[in-house]
Amino acid sequence: MNTLEEPASIEQLRQLARRRLPQQVFDFIDGGADDELALRRNRHELQSAPLVGRALVNVTSIDTTCTIFGKPLAAPLVVAPMGACGLAWPRADVEIARAAASVGIPYVLSTFANTGIEDLADAAEGRLWFQLYPLRDRALRHGLVHRARVAGYEVLVVTVDVPVPGNRERDHSHSRSSLTGLVKNVAGLIWRPRWCWGIACHGLPRFPNAAAGAGAAALAQRAGAQVDATFDWDELARVRDRWPGTLVVKGIQHTNDVQRLASLGMDGIWLSNHGGRQLDAAPGPLSLLQSVTQIQRGHSILIADSGFRRGSEVFKALISGADAVALGRSVLYGAAVAGRAGALHALQIIQRELVQTMAMCGVTHIPAVTSPPCQPTP
Ligand SMILES: Cc1cc2nc3c(=O)[nH]c(=O)nc-3n(C[C@H](O)[C@H](O)[C@H](O)COP(=O)(O)O)c2cc1C
């Protein structure tokens, strides 16, 4: 696809996405909470951590395959759950899930996706996980778990870092109903004909799994308002009772929470600051991994996300103790530019960079990443 011959990096895809999407939609995807400190901290931390190259290793064959929850993955990558992806591209959930399937990694469908649980299972052939927000409406919440199980989703991911909506100021600025704001938003659409055409053909995205029914700017607020602020350890245990399969808890930062989750036998712990969209003071992904791996190694599978835009950064997370890295915006920028082909392109960029980094660090297969050969010696 022509538009995709050019972008060589995720940042270039991001710039193309900025040009294709209405400002309001781009900001919904790109933005963070409060002063966007966590957003910047994630990037700074991942970019600035050094790696020390290794020499004189035969690296003609690099193998990125690995095993997570007893199943093979083509690379230690997962596509993170993202609500309202349909604002970026028509049927984006399906398009991204197909891209993930074609590179052999799982796709996590959000509670606030624009595609129904069963519809995605029918449309995408790959490995599917379902992300559950603990909705206030318990019947709806339990119904989602049941539907995911019946539809054959492999893993349930319970997101616990949205007890209240994050303060996304970019979104607020768009939703202010001043006349100038309104005029600016409508005028901006004139310059986004391809996006408008997509909406004209497919309609505004709906939320078939949860009754969010909101536009881009209000989504975080309305979705957050649907999440049950009383959800606690007892409630998590109830979800565990309803889901006999693999269970992952997403949005964990504190080592006490990690220890408690591990002692409860959770299969996976997903370290995250929600891509800088929730607690603005939260540590970045490498700091989280370093604190957690000091207290637990090998109990639960560790997934890390927030800010990953390069394969070298994925490698840094792996040597810091992650079993896999989840990619959010990196893939969504690609989908915003060219649907499935764009998402695939983004995943291929990250995979190619991961292979290059492994070669330059003298690591030929993923299990060997766990030994720390590539960190600077103190
Ligand atoms: C547009 C958007 C929507 C998101 N929606 C959800 C969601 O519905 N559920 C969830 O658990 N996390 C959601 N997240 C957070 C991602 O799952 C992930 O934690 C985060 O995007 C990782 O950071 P990154 O985008 O810098 O890779 C969303 C993130 C974005 C950018």
Q: Kind and range of the H or E element at 238?
A: helix 233-242
Read off the pLDDT of each residue in 166-172 and give the average, rounded to a whole number: 85
Listed residue (164, 52, 159, 50) closest to 111, CA to CA: 159
Q: Is 63 strand, coil or helix?
A: strand
pLDDT of residue 187: 61
pLDDT tens-digit profile of 281-296? Answer: 999 999 999 999 888 7
pLDDT of residue 245: 96
Region of poorest pLDDT, from 154-158, 177-181, 183-187, 312-316: 177-181
pLDDT of residue 229: 94
Read off the pLDDT of each residue in 67-94 and give the average, rounded to a whole number: 96
Supply the residue whose CA is at minimum distance from atom 13 of ligand 1.
82
Instruction: Give me ligand 1 centre to Cα 79, in Å.
Output: 10
Q: Is 71 strand, coil or helix?
A: strand
Higher pLDDT, 298 or 56: 56
Q: Active-site residue 274, yes or no?
A: yes
Read off the pLDDT of each residue in 233-258 and give the average, rounded to a whole number: 96
pLDDT of residue 214: 46
Q: Is 225 strand, coil or helix?
A: helix
pLDDT tens-digit profile of 176-197? Answer: 555 555 555 666 777 788 888 8
- Return the structure tokens found at 312: 């070298």
Mean pLDDT, the chain, rounded, equals 90
**Residues 198 and 90 sit within 8 Å (Cβ to Cβ):** yes
Residues 240 and 169: their CA atoms lie apart, in Å, by 35
Instruction: Give me ligand 1 centre to Cα 327, in Å.
Output: 9
pLDDT of residue 294: 84
- Please give the distance of CA 91 from its chain centroid, rounded to a whole number: 17
- Please give the distance of CA 42 from its chain centroid, rounded to a whole number: 14
Q: Is 365 strand, coil or helix?
A: strand
Supply the residue whose CA is at minimum distance from atom 6 of ligand 1.
82
The binding-site residues of ligand 1, defined as CB within 6 angstroms of any ligand atom, are 29, 80-83, 110-112, 131, 159, 250, 272, 274-275, 277, 305-308, 327-330
**Residues 77 and 99 sit within 8 Å (Cβ to Cβ):** no
Read off the pLDDT of each residue in 95-112 and give the average, rounded to a whole number: 98
Give percent of the chain with pLDDT exceeding 90. Answer: 75
Q: Is the pLDDT of residue 40 over 60?
A: yes
Residues 159 and 181: their CA atoms lie apart, in Å, by 33
Q: What is the pTM of this model?
A: 0.93
Mutate to test the pocket of ligand 1, among 129, 277, 327 (most ligand atoms within 8 A of CB): 277
Helix, strand, coil distribution of the chain in percent, nearest 5: 50, 10, 40
pLDDT of residue 317: 97
Q: Is the pLDDT of residue 84 over 60?
A: yes
Instruction: Give me ligand 1 centre to Cα 269, in Å.
Output: 16
Instruction: Give me ligand 1 centre to Cα 162, in Å.
Output: 11
Listed residue (83, 310, 89) closest to 195, CA to CA: 89
- Return the structure tokens found at 210: 């949860």
Supply the residue whose CA is at minimum distance from atom 15 of ligand 1.
274
Give percent of the chain with pLDDT exceeding 70. Answer: 88
Ramachandran bin of 339, using left for φ above 0, alpha for ψ from -120 to 50, beta for the remaining angles? left
